[in-house]
């Protein structure tokens, strides 16, 4: 049998009894980074053969895992922290196992996104996990645009060095909203800092981050049923300068002025 096992995202005690038992019973363990996994395994005195399974060799690792499983071996798969597959290697292995008819299961555990959602205190009635945004600005904005009008809380994984540009992109596409930066989850310096997207995040930059953003508000303003161009014209016909009309229409729709401006260029 093959087991995808969730590991702690910070505090090493955040691992289930079942996960420890499964790791101890495994014949071999595939890790995103064997050095990182050794810290956890040594803490629980688990000595097993370790093999790499990361984004650069996942297809090759999948073949080894399938072969081992067919030989009757117990195979465990872990990532550096959290659940494999979710913003981590593992999806290629899942697909290969399904196609090969090799059974597998999941040993659930710590999850940064859900923990951050609760710490943010934003609505958890409906939420969407976006994960990491693309590196390229154009692709980043295109992806964000697909979530702009969704009335559900959005959850992003963000590397410390990407916070400023990711928050700026989120603001430019989604407009002004409340957000919460959650870092160092389950660790000593855990914190959840609320801020407005227009202001950016001005807190501590160290540690792994999850940015939680409130969902789109329900459009109660009847002007929002107009096209963007018609919306701007509505205010211009009432005597507003174009720049003020753009600002007012953007405010109505809950988006940034720069996003709204492109609809006014020929007015």
CA distances to 15, 38, 185 from 112, in Å: 13, 21, 7
Predicted pLDDT at 218: 63
Whether residue 72 is found in the same domain as residue 27: yes
Whether residue 69 is found in the same domain as residue 164: no
pLDDT tens-digit readout, 179-226: 999 999 999 999 999 999 999 999 999 988 999 999 987 655 678 778
End-of-domain residue from the set 87, 107, 127:
107
pTM of this structure: 0.80
Cα separation, 86 vs 2, in Å, equals: 17
CA distances to 131, 218, 224, 235, 260 from 228, in Å: 29, 17, 8, 11, 7
pLDDT-derived band at 1 (thresholds 50, 70, 90) equals very high
Q: Residue 236 is part of which domain span? A: 222-261
| Residue with the two structure tokens 């290969």 | 96
Whether residue 207 is found in the same domain as residue 250: no
End-of-domain residue from the set 107, 133, 148:
107
Cα separation, 155 vs 212, in Å, equals: 5
Cα separation, 179 vs 200, in Å, equals: 9
Question: Beta strand 2-5 with 75-78: parallel, antiparallel or unpaired?
Answer: parallel
Is residue 267 a part of any domain in this protein?
no
Residues in the chain: 267
Percent of the chain past pLDDT 90, that is, above it, reads 84
pLDDT tens-digit readout, 82-136: 999 999 999 999 999 999 999 999 999 999 999 999 999 999 999 999 999 999 9
Measure the CA dihedral 154/214/169/156, to 10°: -30
Whether residue 95 is found in the same domain as residue 143: no
Q: End-to-end alpha-carbon separation of the chain, Å?
A: 65
Sign of torsion, CA 221 227 228 232? negative
- Structural contact between residues 139 and 111, judged by C-beta atoms closer than 8 angstroms: no
CA 196 vs. chain centroid, Å, equals 19
Burial (CB < 10 A; 0-12, 13-18, 19+), residue 27, is middle
Predicted pLDDT at 146: 92
pLDDT tens-digit readout, 215-254: 987 655 678 778 999 999 989 889 999 999 998 888 887 7
CATH of the domain at 168: 3.30.950.10
Whether residue 256 is found in the same domain as residue 243: yes
Whether residue 256 is found in the same domain as residue 200: no
Cα separation, 56 vs 87, in Å, equals: 15
Cα separation, 237 vs 256, in Å, equals: 22
The structural domain count of the chain equals 3
Residue 2 has pLDDT above 70, yes or no: yes
Question: Beta strand 127-131 with 28-31: parallel, antiparallel or unpaired?
Answer: unpaired
Those residues whose C-beta lies under 8 Å from the C-beta of residue 220, and which sit 6 or more positions away, are none
- Looking at residues 54-76, what average pLDDT do you find? 97
b or e along 189-214 (b: 16 or more beta carbons within 10 Å of the residue's beta carbon)?
A: eeebeebebeeebeeeeeebbbbbbb
- Looking at residues 164-186, what average pLDDT do you find? 95
Q: How many Cβ atoms from other residues are within 10 Å of residue 160's Cβ? A: 12
Task: Give the chain's mean pLDDT.
Answer: 94
pLDDT-derived band at 149 (thresholds 50, 70, 90) equals confident
């Amino acid at each position: 049998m093959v087991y995808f096992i969730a590991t702690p995202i910070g505090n090493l005690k955040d691992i289930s009894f079942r996960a420890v038992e499964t790791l101890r019973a495994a014949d071999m363990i595939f890790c995103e980074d064997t050095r990182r996994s050794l810290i956890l395994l040594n803490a629980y005195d688990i000595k097993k053969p370790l093999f790499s399974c990361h984004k650069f060799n996942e297809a090759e690792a999948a073949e080894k895992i399938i072969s081992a499983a067919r030989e009757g071996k117990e195979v465990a798969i872990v990532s550096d922290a959290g659940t494999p597959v979710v913003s981590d290697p593992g999806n290629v292995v899942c697909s290969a196992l399904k196609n090969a008819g090799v059974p597998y299961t999941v040993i659930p555990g710590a999850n940064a996104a859900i923990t951050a959602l609760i710490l943010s205190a934003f609505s958890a009635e409906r939420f969407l996990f976006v994960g990491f945004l693309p590196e390229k600005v154009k692709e980043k904005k295109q992806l964000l645009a697909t979530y702009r009008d969704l009335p559900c809380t959005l959850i992003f994984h963000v590397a410390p060095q990407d916070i400023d540009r990711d928050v700026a992109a989120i603001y430019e596409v989604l407009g002004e909203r409340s957000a919460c930066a959650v870092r160092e989850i389950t660790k000593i310096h855990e914190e959840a800092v609320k801020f407005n997207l227009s202001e950016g995040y001005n807190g501590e930059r160290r540690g792994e981050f999850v940015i939680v953003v409130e969902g789109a508000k329900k459009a109660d303003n009847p002007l929002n049923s107009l096209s963007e161009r018609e919306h701007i014209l509505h205010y211009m016909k009432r005597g507003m300068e174009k720049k003020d009309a753009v600002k007012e229409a953007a405010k109505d729709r809950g988006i940034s002025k720069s996003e709204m401006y492109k609809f006014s260029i020929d007015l």
